[in-house]
Chain A
Amino acid sequence: MESFVVRYRNLLVLLVLLVAQILGLAMQVRRASSGQADGGGVRLIRLWANGIVSPPERILHSTGSGVSWIWNNYFDLRHVRQQNADLQKTVDRLRLEQAALLEDAKQGQRLQALLNFQQKYIYKTVAAQVIGSSGTDQSRVFYIDKGKSDGVDRDMAVITPDGIVGKIRDVFGHTAQVLAINDQSSGAGVIMESTRIRGILRGNASGQLQIVDVIRDQRIKPGEKVLTAGGDQIFPRGLPVGIVDRVVNDPERDGFVDVVLKSAAHLDQLDEVLVITVTEPRFPPDQQQDMAASEALKSAEAEQQKTSDGMAEKLPGLLEPNLPTDQQPLNDTSNPNPVSKPPLAIHPDRFTPGNAVTPNVQGAPDGSQSPGAGSSESTLKKPLPPKSSTSEPHSTPETKPAKPSTPQGENR
């Protein structure tokens, strides 16, 4: 027996170990199936395993974190300086691009607004960009990129959708010089919107707009809109000029004031402007259609009027200016085709035609003083003559007097 154990010692130990573990498994499975927690031995094994493994794991974790930190913050930063320089260059380039894009976007918005205004504006305009200035504060002129080749000419008005800007002073091939309205040498006829006070707009020494030589008027208040008057042959009427900022006394003339304005157009931030090249009104197609229809209607009416006048000249009139009232064709009872009378009122009152016009007429027995009233009264009191009843049906006064006039003419 002893030799058997010694001989198969290894195998026996293996069997013991396997059987022990299988039994342990069976017990655990049985406890688990019955809903019980792990036994004390199993929990103890788990505790030992956890106690043995956890501290080194924690050390490894912290060491790994430290190594990771060293790697990330030292070894991995070898090329960071170069990357930083490259990124800085990229940031600079992107900032420049962003600024350019922003400028393009703003310009696009301005041009869009300008285009909208240009399309709606009734005068033909040419859009131009401001390309330069005089370079001094004393001279408020600037240059635009449109010139004679674009149809620009001297004394053309330069405007923006906000208001007037100035006028063309000199024209070159592809550029033009614009005299701004706030220059001291410029001038424009203006009118205040509500008070309708007219004046001449000039620029003062500080580059502000002012209406000069205005008779003192209490109605002129700050905030009032000022428009172009249209009398200077440069700026069309009704364009915005600015709003009244303040009223100052004219130091040289008593009783006169200078009205200082805030310009409607941003004269110091001009980028795009419009030059009015043709002052003939230019209407949209639908308006042109309406106008054509209106013209056609008007000409047809004129033609009709002309025809009517021609016929009236050919036909005798109802009233003969050379005859007295009682001998007028309308009152001629001998007329075989008398003019038809309005129907008689059943209950005449003072509103009945002929009754309330004048008391005298109403009191007249035969009504002979008033042709209309007299005829009404006579028609009311007397039956209509047989001729009248047998004559043609009622006819209009405009067409029928032609027949009665003929006998009268014959009578003459």
Chain B
Amino acid sequence: MDLSQYAELFLAESREHLSACNQLLLEWERSPANLAPVGGLFRAVHTVKGMAATMGYARVTDLAHRAENLLDLLRRGGRTANDELLQLLFRARDALEQAVELSVVGREEEIDVAEVVADLDDAAAQLGRAGEAGGGIGARPTPVPAATPAIETAVAAGRLVQVTLRAEAPLKGGRALLVIKKAQAVGPVHAVTPPESAFEADEFDGRFSFRIGGATGAADIERAVRAAGDVEHVTVGGEERRALPAPGAPPAAAPETKSRHIRVELGRLDSLMDLIGELVTVRGRLNELAASARDPAIDDVAIQVSRLSRELQDEIIQARMTPVWQVFDRFPRLVRDLARELGKQVAFRVEGKEIELDRAILDELGDPLLHLLRNAVDHGVESPADRRRRGKKPEGEIVLAAVRERASVAISVRDDGRGIDRKQILERAKRDGVVDPHAEALTDDQLLRVLARPGFSTADAVTSVSGRGVGIDVAVTRIRALGGSIDIRSEEGKGTTFVLRLPVTLAIVRALIAGVGAERYALPLTYVAETVEFGVQATTIVEGREAIVLRDRVVPLVHLRRLLGVSGDAPTRCPIIVLEMGERRSGIVVDGMLGQQEIVVKGFDAPHGTLPVFSGATIMGDGVPTLILDAGGLL
């Protein structure tokens, strides 16, 4: 049987179980007396063991088996968790993960788990001994009483049946019990030797005998016994019969079956998305042709093509959606390990795990979030002593939360730590010339701009965890590249919150097409709140910037014509596109609106010196390339 086709499924499912192990261990650590997580751990490790054995990964199987042994003892013994035990189980989980990953890529011989295996065995042996001495811990459950009393008390008569099971038969006790059951169907069975309770022991060697009453002939008894499978020899009433060859070939292969889930390679979904992207572009061209042809028949076809391709596109986008827990689930363990390393106490909470994002975006989120969480543990949350001095509870809190907002998802990392020392950063920013030397305070926006400068670090001492000046700038760049934004809120002594906003999907977005001079620009609708008309709205000057006031809120204006250096005069009345990203708003003044359209976003490496206001490019229906404006850059 070719097992390679199952390797990917094995890997994916093992990862899920190992990730669950992390959550369960953390849960057990939080409430050591609650044994529910141990049962879950046992099941997860057991499942990985079964799968690995089937794949023929001997080392994974062995490691999982030893971990399972220990977990089984713990589960039965009702032990509360202690630090040493938890550390060992965390280590075993990590070793198992590594062994799984190496096995799947054919590097099984590199697996080195001797040390953790020895520690697992030691711990299991200790628990086992404690069980024998103290009773309870490690004890096996009471065996279920075997065989019906009627048989035990039957008259000792009938034929003696001696059975030897095949040497290679697994779990011989189970097989022997099946033999007894089969025999019972043809006559009363008694005098089972060794007694049935011995079948439960691993040492049972597969040789046993019993007496069977009634009038059944020797041949029928033997047939019944052999029907249980794995029988090597049977002697009925002193007459020995040789083993028959194994039953014939299985029935011929036949039709396929139904299944409700299949796993698809991610690359397939990507190329499907690319194809749909091209279809969307061609659809745009068809619509333009139909509009100029003024032929109702062509119009009809164009409308149908539009509808079908939109449905197709919705389906494929849906197929790419992935819940954020797939990335979030590794963080609780990470935060725990960091906190231990740094001597902090942290309660970590995750909210909105079920919120979905395009797989491509989610894949990019891991690193930025990792940086922000490291910062929160290292620089945000104070040491327990520090926190007590400030009248806070010794345990700090970090919350990672995902929330759906219109066409975007907001992911926040919030801590209740010391907050960012604005004075220190202001000094540094003045020295570096990032802000006006006479500035007296930093707004949140300015703060982010300073923090996001490459190489900026506020750490007094560079720790191994963070504070190397990488982190926030990396996070900001990544998020911006995904068409998203980062906001920061920080209050001294109370904590810091970073909010990442991301489009739900990357590849195809609905956009406003705006005209400036002779050029067209696309502006994704993700962050467009509304449009108003310039020249009708009264403008005012706020903090030196031209702005409009919209429902009591100040919206600073950006004239795209000026920003892009387009010569000539703007029309007297022109539209303002109001962008909104979290708390920030901005009004983009353009020459005219040319409608809305689906656009296919193509990656874009802006040449050096280009204004940081474009996030990509797209091809319009008429085949002309058009730049996509970056809402984050315009705000």
Q: Answer whether A and B are interacting partners.
A: no
